Amino acid sequence: MRKKHATHRVAVVTTPNAPLFEIAVPCEIFGMPRPELIDPPYEVTLCATVPGERVGSGFTPDATTLDALEEADTVVVPACADVDDEADEDLVRALKAVAERGARVVGLCSGAFAADQGA
């Protein structure tokens, strides 16, 4: 993949009722500026399968749609609310497009099931 910009773009996917901790960890890791390690810092975007839907603990993130995955260099798929639920079809389709263009796809915990379907 050839980067057209200097800042590495990280998209973190949110799904309805996902555990807040699973979303917070990648946001903390990639979203906190650490100029002693990387400069410029990562650009982090939250992308929701259902914008405006609450995640764990009743938190409603200010998230964009899955369209933002098209510009991401790395996509992180955190754990989902229920491992027995089927992965969101739009998410799997978007992850396939991400993988096809050579961007990284990272699955955390049960988010690996959706990431694996998309790869």
pLDDT value at residue 60 = 92
- Give the E-state strand segments of 1-119 in sequence order: 9-14, 43-48, 74-77, 104-107
pLDDT attached to residue 40: 87
Beta bridge partners of 47: 13, 64
**Does the pLDDT of residue 100 top 70, yes or no?**
yes
How high is the pLDDT of residue 116?
66
What residues form DSSP beta bridges with 107? 77
Report pLDDT digits (tens) over 20-38: 999 999 999 999 998 898 8
Q: Which pTM does this prediction carry?
A: 0.88
